[in-house]
Structure 1
């Protein structure tokens, strides 16, 4: 199987539009959640409510993934993505200037966030249509690298806006970025019809989402690939959730977590760029095991430098997912591809939150260093248990 190149991927205009709007989306979301967290803390002085505000944007993925994902296949993907950006813009302006009480701010973020997995699913499902074959896998690699960079840049830019304009100004800037992304998407992408439109909406969308979710999870091939995408990352999220208490403060923890983001970006780039398609799929199992191995060394309480190195090496293993992407597209029916990608994303978000919570509870019982090592050990066991899925059969490596 001939591998694609980055030049071929970026030569596709539709991908360039998706890439640019995705960078704006990730950066804008980082600014929005940071500004909201600061705004809530300024009003209440409560660290707990501030943390809750920061996480509020991710929580709706659970409900949206369970009940609304069929909309991703029942509406034009361009329209969904544009609406998603406009919803974000209006939400940010309301957060900044509507004078809502703290509970109103959190409710607004939770309610508007219910549709976030639908907007994400529309984008993810469009990618294999724009980039067929191995170019799709390389495109996913590019977006993952961009996501890591945009998160870091979004937090840095958000901090700068907060220092100069305060949280309201930062939220207004986020709204502006969202409007720019909406314009880019509307005029940069051609119209594509919905994959599975049937003319129904409302409660019909909820019923169809539940029905298709059951159908996808009942298929052993789809279920196996979903579990392989979710479970190793659950353990990694648990380990990373313990970094702050392990390091004893935000400063050194930030260094370690930034190193992890950098390691993920390097791993995604290296595997996407230099591994042929067949090799990429064969590397899924060893890379998934790599996710857990470095965290074991935290049992020996490394300092900040070694902790950062270990976190970076572990996060590089996240590139194991590139070897699953083509197979996932192959086994999912095209008419429900949007919902399938949305389910994959929603399960990943939910699992990471659960992993962080579980290891957090463990960290209350044993030292954070041992909790991190335990999460790494669990990651290794999970990867080995999923070896049958992570190691593709020879017949699957077809041209």
Structure 2
């Protein structure tokens, strides 16, 4: 089977629209959370509350993923994505100019963020519809690279803008980016009807479909293969700052990790044929953990950066799972399936950071990173039966 090319992917108008709006979303969200953390710190002088503010935008993924994901299939995708951008714009303006106390700022972010998994799921489920076959996998690779790059750009641009104009103006910039993204989506995407029928309440349907997805052995295996190695990766990355003594050098290592991810996604997505890409899933998943073991030797910033970059290049293992995941779930619940995939990933990363962080308190950051690497290898080997491609039946409708 011949693999798709970047030229073929970007030749699709709908993908260009999804790509452009996604970049605006990622950059805007990073600026938003950075500005909110600065705004809270300015009001409270509390590092703990400032950190909580930075993470507040991601916490609702857990609840939204558990109870609201069915909306991604029961409502038209373009309307959902536009609604998400407009909610983000209004939220940012309220955070910037409404003069809310800190508890209200955090509550607003948490409540409006409950629907973020739904908006992300609508976008993810639309991708295989506009990019059939192997083009879908390459499209996911492009979006993953854009996500890593967008986070770096967002942090750099957000930091510079915060220093120049302050947090309120930075939040206003995010609002403008969201409005631009909404306009791009409205003009660039055609209207499509909802994939699934509206039967029963959103919470009840979400719980039922989540149980159905997790009860299927093939789908459950693919979900776990996408989640579990990343639990240990998030734990290792969470220890980079204390490993380097809280110094700014940690930013160099984390930037190297983002670069390694981008290079791995690009190389495997573009140059590996579809069948090879799927065969590479297991060795790349093992690679995800091996370099972190080197932190037990106490490397300096240069080698720490190299090890982090090599490790995150292994994240390209997920590309070999994407086509199989799309084939495993029916179209009418595809949005919820992708939403469950993302929500579980977010939750697992938070759990991994907390667990490895607790371990680091006891044995030190370097050894904790090494343990996380070893755990990642063991999990990849335990999931070898899933990571090795094999034909399997599609999840039945009903």
Fold agreement, TM-score > 0.5: yes
In 1, the alpha carbon distance for the partners of 2:390 and 2:89 equals: 46
Partner of 2:285: 288
Partner of 1:274: 271
The C-alpha deviation readout for 1:145-183, integer Å capped at 9, x for no partner, is 001111000111111111111000000010000000000
SS at match of 2:352: helix
Partner of 1:101: 101
Partner of 1:314: 311
Partner of 1:328: 325
In 1, the alpha carbon distance for the partners of 2:32 and 2:332 equals: 33
1:130 equivalenced with 2:130 (yes/no) = yes
> Which structure 2 segments of 5+ residues have no match?
394-398
In 2, the alpha carbon distance for the partners of 1:199 and 1:343 equals: 19
SS at match of 2:100: coil
In 1, the alpha carbon distance for the partners of 2:199 and 2:181 equals: 28
Partner of 1:142: 142
SS at match of 2:7: helix
Alignment RMSD (CA, Å)? 0.9
SS at match of 2:166: helix
1:373 equivalenced with 2:384 (yes/no) = no
SS at match of 2:299: coil
The C-alpha deviation readout for 1:259-285, integer Å capped at 9, x for no partner, is 000000000000000000000000000
Partner of 2:223: 226
In 2, the alpha carbon distance for the partners of 1:281 and 1:198 equals: 36
Partner of 1:23: 23
* CA contact 2:68–2:206 (8 Å) conserved in 1: yes
In 1, the alpha carbon distance for the partners of 2:357 and 2:158 equals: 27
TM-score normalised to the size of structure 2? 0.98
* CA contact 2:218–2:392 (8 Å) conserved in 1: no
How much has 1:199 moved relative to structure 2?
Answer: 6.2
Partner of 1:90: 90
Partner of 2:167: 167
Partner of 1:187: 187
1:205 equivalenced with 2:202 (yes/no) = yes
TM-score normalised to the size of structure 1? 0.98
In 1, the alpha carbon distance for the partners of 2:373 and 2:122 equals: 33
> Which structure 1 segments of 5+ residues have no match?
none
Partner of 1:354: 351
